[in-house]
Amino acid sequence: MKKIYFMILGLALVFNISAQTGRITGKVVDATTNEPLAAATIRVIGQGGTSTNVEGEFNIPCSVGADLVVSYVGYKTYRVALENCGTALAISLTPSNQLLDEVEITAISNTNPSQLYQAKSISKLNAKELERGTGLFMDDAINTNITGVYMTRRAVSSGQQFNIRGYGNGVGFRGASNNFDGQGYKVYLNGIPITDAEGVTQMDDIDFGSIGNVEVIKGPAGTLYGLAIAGAVNLQTKKATPGQASIGQNVLVGNYGLSRFTTQLQLGLDKSSVLINYGTQHSDGFMPHNASDKDFVNFMGTFTPNENQEISTYLAYSNSYDERAGELTIAQFEANDFSGNARYIKNDAHSAVTSFRAGLNHTYHFSNQVSNTTTIFGASSSQNNSSAGGWTDKSPTNYGFRSTFDLGFDLASGVTLSGIVGMEAQRQNALILGYSMATNNNDPNGYNVIGNQRSNQATITSTSSYFTEWTLSLPSDLSFTGGIGVSNMDINLMNRAYDSTNGTPGPSYETDYTGLVSPHFAINKVFNDQLSAYFSYSRGYKAPVSSNIVISTTGELNTGLKPEVGNQFEIGTKGSLLDSKLNYQLAAFSTKFEDKMTSVAVPLDANTTAYTYIANGGGQINKGLEVAVNYDMYQSTTGFFSSVRPFANLTYSDFTYDNFSYENANGVSNYDGNAVAGVSPIVANAGIDATANNGLYGNLNFSYKDSMPITSDGTTQSADYRLWNMKLGYHKMISSHFDMNVYFGVNNIFGEKYYYMVFINQLADAYIPAPKDANYFGGINLKYIF
């Protein structure tokens, strides 16, 4: 009898142990559509992880009491304590709130990618925000959804720039806060720098219609991104849908001759994925001499030879030609005279860019504690553009690499130390030719033609940055982050034009800016996995560009010029409250920019200025408040609506010049205490997204942009504006193989007069207007799934 008893007891123990350890299976589906989610990440804390297959199924080692975490891009992370390893799990993920989505493409030192654990402002956009409108230009998505950031463009689809927390690029020939080109921030696409080695960002050749993920660091990002005084913008193209092979054709048409045709091939296999798309885009423009033509080819491939290794490659070709109608005067803008700028039109003003860009990314996991990601990249382009001032040919080639080690160590129970160590290097070789414009004697009433050569310059610019950042995570979700980056820049400028007077070659100049140290420190506390509070400090630099380093009148090297520096203090909180329905981000910051570049006049005599040159002097003090919220008001799998989500955000900016003056031939202008030009004190957005269970969807959003000074003396203000935009669509799988999405939208529903860009300190030139009438568009996306 005892033998039988002990045998039964032993069997019970065996079954109990097997229920406490072993493997657990399950399936992950979309809570709204009940469709399986392939490639969802499954982790058992302390025991490793896996991903779901095409059917959404998984099988993973299990221990009773361990936490199982399921995550998928665009969905809320699911977490549960395992109670029985023998019971299959059925897991439904609900679409997440984009405010608190996990960080995917921005360099971080914390192994937990949740926004709650990031002690800095990182704003994120994915497909929902990027495709609320046409999805072609991105400025509408940035300006509607990201607080503290404003994106502008000089024409239909060229001259794009970011203004991040009021940093207004470099100094111009007529005043501070010049916005003729993008400076002060760094932009990456699939890990490849779009910003050149000189620190200038041109985005004419970027296919914004192919972008599927955007992350923006707001404020100095010098620790991990080098010379990025204003911040960093990471872009990622769309990827092939896991577990799916398809071919698709997208067609979009709209007012003013807008058309976009995109052909796309996707192959999402178990260990590889490939996406190839070809797009051709045209617009007649809404002003004279305002047309735009673009052709894009993009290849994105990801390959996983084994569980420890991933290789991805990106290839892109672009051929872009955008006409420029020029800036309107204030009088023209107010009188609704959108005839353009006669000087631009006469010179056939345009921006033409043909480019090729390539990158190869390799990630290898040496162990659970150490991994390396290395990217090598190259880009070359042929550019020519003309404006009121003349014609410029430019042929830049950029190449380099970025390599980072991600490290993580368990120091004690509940205590981990994780970090990132790496370097980035980039070099640019460029040839720049400048010409005057002259009347075409064969057609005096036509466009001007290229005249005499004014300049012939070759530049070699190189940058490097070395960085490390570490996060110590303690019990009770308290963490401390500290890091440091060191950046360097070298500029070599060669004047290749001979002096015709004495037959001597032009001079060469070389300067460098080295040892630019950018520290970062932060504290973060997460409360009940629902909200966090943080404090952070960061620093960044902006080095002079090649046009700043020479005093053109004397031909002397501008030896006294040094990089601008920005220091930012920020406090903030992020959270998901009311049963994770109300999500928010709130940040308050104070940023001080010092050694801002300005102009200094050299007198010829008591009454005359001999010449001016660029020098450091004064700064800016930028104080601001940013808040963004959205609310999952309704979700259902049975009613008419499946999801209703309102959203709103507000940016308040109190930015002033600090001991800042600007000198030119007309005298000295003192801007001390004036509001920084080019920044609206208040920007607000609100809207609502709704989807129905039958496939209907729609959004309505409102934007308000306050008036702002467009000259640093504060005497001239821009107009404010209010915009209403909407979009309705129907998205449905019409069979097991055919997916259809048809939509219709209206931008500027009520015909408000507004602008794409205002040129700062460039009077009489002022406005790049946007269409003042309602702008309609519609399209259809068809996809065949094999």
* Of residues 292, 402, 399, the one with CA closest to residue 356: 399
| For residue 764, cis peptide bond before it (omega within 30 degrees of 0) | yes
In a domain, 106, yes or no: no
Q: Are residues 87 and 233 in the same domain?
A: no
Longest dimension (CA), the chain: 119
Q: Is the pLDDT of residue 663 over 80?
A: no
Q: Are residues 489 and 563 in the same domain?
A: yes
Residue 785 pLDDT grade (very low, low, confident, very high; cuts 50, 70, 90) = confident
Q: Are residues 129 and 167 in the same domain?
A: yes
Residue 514: how many CB atoms within 10 A of its CB?
A: 10
What is the distance between the alpha carbons of residues 177 and 618, in angstroms, rounded to a whole number?
Answer: 13
What is the distance between the alpha carbons of residues 218 and 536, in angstroms, rounded to a whole number?
Answer: 12
Q: Is the pLDDT of residue 5 over 60?
A: no
* Cβ partners under 8 Å of residue 444, min gap 6: none
Are 493 and 459 in contact by the 8 Å Cβ rule? The answer is yes
User: What's the N-to-C CA distance of the chain in angstroms?
Assistant: 64
In a domain, 641, yes or no: yes
* Res 361: pLDDT: 96
Q: Are residues 639 and 673 in the same domain?
A: yes
In a domain, 500, yes or no: yes
Q: What is the pLDDT of residues 477-489, one digit of tens each?
A: 999 999 999 999 9
Q: What is the pLDDT of residues 106-160, one digit of tens each?
A: 888 888 888 999 999 999 998 889 999 999 999 999 999 999 999 999 999 999 9
Q: Exposed, middle or buried, 183 (CB in 10 Å: 0-12/13-18/19+)?
A: buried
In a domain, 284, yes or no: yes
* Res 506: pLDDT: 79
Domain containing residue 340: 115-785
Token digits of residue 705: 């942009």
* Of residues 177, 337, 360, the one with CA closest to residue 769: 337
* Cβ partners under 8 Å of residue 745, min gap 6: 133, 134, 725, 726, 727, 728, 776, 777, 778
Q: Is the pLDDT of residue 165 over 90?
A: yes
What is the distance between the alpha carbons of residues 400 and 422, in angstroms, rounded to a whole number?
Answer: 14
Torsion angle of C-alpha atoms 198, 465, 102, 26, degrees rounded to 10 = 120
**How many residues are given for the chain?**
786
Residue with tokens 């070759």: 458
| Residue of higher predicted confidence among 455 and 651 | 651
Last-in-domain residue among 46, 62, 95: 95
Give me the percent of the chain exceeding a pLDDT of 70. 92
| Residue of higher predicted confidence among 348 and 101 | 348
Mean pLDDT over 225-232 rounds to: 96
In a domain, 100, yes or no: no
Token digits of residue 670: 């003192």
| Residue of higher predicted confidence among 176 and 227 | 227
**pTM of the complete model:** 0.88
* Res 66: pLDDT: 79
* Of residues 467, 455, 461, 584, the one with CA closest to residue 518: 467
| Residue of higher predicted confidence among 42 and 156 | 156
In a domain, 462, yes or no: yes
Q: Are residues 73 and 215 in the same domain?
A: no
Residue with tokens 């923006």: 216
Q: Are residues 88 and 175 in the same domain?
A: no
Token digits of residue 444: 């005096």
Q: What is the pLDDT of residues 281-292, one digit of tens each?
A: 999 999 999 999
Mean pLDDT over 753-760 rounds to: 93
Residue 735 pLDDT grade (very low, low, confident, very high; cuts 50, 70, 90) = confident
Q: Are residues 699 and 771 in the same domain?
A: yes
Structural domain total, the chain: 2
Where in 367-444 does DSSP place strands (E)?
A: 370-387, 390-412, 415-438
* Res 615: pLDDT: 83
| CB burial string 656-688: b at 16+ within 10 A, e below | bbbebbbbeeeeebebeebbbbbbbeebbbbbb
* Of residues 160, 329, 159, 207, the one with CA closest to residue 150: 160
* Cβ partners under 8 Å of residue 370, min gap 6: 405, 406, 407
Q: Are residues 405 and 554 in the same domain?
A: yes
Using DSSP, state whether 284 is helix, strand or coil.
coil
Token digits of residue 41: 């990440």
What is the distance between the alpha carbons of residues 183 and 168, in angstroms, rounded to a whole number?
Answer: 8
In a domain, 102, yes or no: no
* Cβ partners under 8 Å of residue 477, min gap 6: 117, 525, 526, 527, 529, 532
Are 559 and 509 in contact by the 8 Å Cβ rule? The answer is no
Mean pLDDT over 634-645 rounds to: 84
Q: Are residues 121 and 66 in the same domain?
A: no
Residue 664 pLDDT grade (very low, low, confident, very high; cuts 50, 70, 90) = low
* Res 605: pLDDT: 59
Q: Determine what percent of the chain falls in helix, strand and coil, rounding each to the nearest 5.
A: 10, 60, 35
Q: Is the pLDDT of residue 723 over 50?
A: yes
Q: What is the pLDDT of residues 538-596, one digit of tens each?
A: 999 999 988 888 877 677 788 888 999 999 999 999 999 988 889 999 999 999 999 98
Are 22 and 85 in contact by the 8 Å Cβ rule? The answer is yes
What is the distance between the alpha carbons of residues 314 and 310, in angstroms, rounded to a whole number?
Answer: 14
Mean pLDDT over 388-409 rounds to: 95
Q: Rounded to 5 degrees, what are φ and ψ at 345?
A: -65, -40
- The secondary structure of residue 504, as a DSSP letter, is B
Residue 442 pLDDT grade (very low, low, confident, very high; cuts 50, 70, 90) = very high
Q: Are residues 225 and 147 in the same domain?
A: yes
Q: Are residues 24 and 160 in the same domain?
A: no
Token digits of residue 28: 């992950």
Residue 160: how many CB atoms within 10 A of its CB?
A: 24
- What integer best gives the mean pLDDT of the chain? 89
* Res 526: pLDDT: 95
In a domain, 105, yes or no: no
What is the distance between the alpha carbons of residues 567 and 673, in angstroms, rounded to a whole number?
Answer: 19
Last-in-domain residue among 95, 125, 140: 95
* Res 173: pLDDT: 56
* Res 625: pLDDT: 98
* Res 97: pLDDT: 59
Using DSSP, state whether 290 is helix, strand or coil.
coil
Cα separation values, 239 from 37, 102, 194, 312, 455, Å = 15, 17, 19, 11, 44
Element (H, E) at 111: none
Q: Is the pLDDT of residue 701 over 90?
A: yes
Q: Are residues 142 and 270 in the same domain?
A: yes
* Res 392: pLDDT: 94
Token digits of residue 768: 């790049």
Q: Is the pLDDT of residue 414 over 60?
A: yes
- Range of weakest confidence among 165-169, 207-211, 301-305: 165-169
Whichever domain contains 61, its CATH number is 2.60.40.1120
